[in-house]
Structures are given as structure tokens and as C-alpha cells.
Structure 1
Amino acid sequence: MTTEITEPITQANEPDITLFEEQAPVVEALAALVRMFGHLPKPYITLNRFSTALGLQLDSPSAFEQWRTALQVAPDAVDSRSSENDAWLCADGVFRGVAVRLTGFGLVLPGERPEDAAVVA
């Protein structure tokens, strides 16, 4: 007796596999960002296979603010987050139809001296 599999086997909790071509708008938006804002501080860039969003992570609040302004993200869209040892800024925007997540590290925690604040390099 032989068994023929006619449908792909997937884990029940595994997300749908996306096609690489679905990232084309993200890559095109990234290329446009480089052309238009190449003079801004260099971000750490993230792309995720489960999302068509672009992440830009900056190592200081100042760099975050420059990008926020360039992308015309409203100041009231900025949120601050913290964990036990870190604090950061985040805001969501859209550039050329692509969701952009800005994150700015290097915030000083209450009780921490500015010169002791860790900055992500």
C-alpha cells in the first residue's frame, strides 16, 4: 500500500509562507529612502518575512527625531517604551504605501545620568 501526498504538509501553528516578490514594495521604498534621505543618520534596517513593513532603528533620540521629521510622522504618534534596563521611542508611519516602524534607542532612564546611558551602536 502506498500513500500519495497531494497537499503540502504544514505545522498547524506555522504562519503562511510568503513569497519573496511580496517584499518588492518594501525594497522599492527602502531604495527611495536611500535616494531621498541618504544624508540622515544611518539606521539599522529590518525586513521581516511575515510582514511587508520596514523597520528603521536609530541609536539616539536625535537620529530618531530627524527620521520622524523626514517621514512626516506626527509628534503625537511617538510613544515611549521601557523595560527594566532600557527605554526607547517608537512610531509608525507610511512611506510610499509601505508601513515603516521607527525605533529610537538611547533614552535616559529615570535616575540614570546621561553620561551613563547605553547607546546601541
Structure 2
Amino acid sequence: MSEILTLDALSVPLRALRLLALDFPELPAPVVDLSAIYPDRLSLSVHPSHGGFAAFEAWRTALGIAPDAVDFHVQCDHRTGVLIAQTEYGGADIKLTGYTEVAAGTRPSEAGAA
């Protein structure tokens, strides 16, 4: 039988989110995700309506993630480019994901990664 986590089990990513809000209030607001499945992870994602790759780049720079630590791929729909990076901040594992629309007919290598 698995143990049911309490909200206190998510205190590490919640504290990290609070620190991010204090340290970087000027950055674009991302979609924030916490999960009892990964209780030490704080997932931040930015979509085209949130600034897409430009917002991802602002967050990547603020978090001190090296450009070569970013993974780029195009989803199977061939219309969505995705950047993914991970780092540690405030004791939490931060997963940063950025999405953007890829122009029709653009090959993945032309879609542009950070």
C-alpha cells in the first residue's frame, strides 16, 4: 500500500516557487505544476501566449542554465518546438519547458533552439 502524501511533502517546490516570485518578479508568468508523483520538482512551462522561446530564454538565463544544457525537439505534429532544461533552485528540482509554433515546412534544424 502506498502512502498518501500531505501538502507538507510539497514544501520544497512550494518554497522554491516563493523564492522565484521574490527573486524574479519581472519574468513572464509561467504555467506552474507541482505533483505528488515528483514531490521535489517544480515544473515551469511557457507557451506561445506566454512569450514562447523568448520567455524560456529569460527564465533559462535567470536560473543560470547553460545554453548547451537545453534539449530541443519538435513534437510529432511537426508544428510545436520544445525546449527543455533542468536545474536546482531553492532546494527543488526545476524543470523548465518552452513551447513555440514551428512554421509549416520548417525542418527541425531550422526551427531554432536556444
Same fold (TM over 0.5): yes
Residue 17 in structure 1 maps to residue 9 in structure 2? no
Does the Cα contact within 8 Å between 1:18 and 1:50 map onto a contact in 2? no
| Separation of aligned partners in 1, 2:67 and 2:3 | 35
Gaps of 5+ in 2: 107-114
Bigger drift between 63-72 and 77-86 goes to 77-86
Distance 1:48 1:109, change over 3 A: farther
Percent identity over paired residues = 33
> Which one of 43, 47, 54 corresponds to residue 55 of structure 1?
43
Q: Rg larger in 1 or in 2?
A: 1
Distance 1:76 1:16, change over 3 A: farther
TM-score normalised by the chain length of structure 2: 0.78
User: Greater share of strand residues, 1 or 2?
Assistant: 2
The DSSP-based 3-state class of the residue aligned with 1:111 is: coil
Does the Cα contact within 8 Å between 1:46 and 1:54 map onto a contact in 2? yes
**Number of aligned residues:** 99
TM-score normalised by the chain length of structure 1: 0.74
Does the Cα contact within 8 Å between 2:72 and 2:83 map onto a contact in 1? yes
User: Greater share of helix residues, 1 or 2?
Assistant: 2
The match for 1:98 is: 92
Quote the RMSD (CA, aligned, Å). 1.7
Could you say which structure has the greater relative contact order, defined with CA pairs below 8 angstroms and 6 or more residues apart?
2
Does the Cα contact within 8 Å between 1:44 and 1:56 map onto a contact in 2? yes
Gaps of 5+ in 1: 1-9, 113-121
Alignment of 1:26-37 (within 5 A): 26-37=13-24
Residue 69 of structure 1 and its aligned partner are, at CA, apart by: 0.2
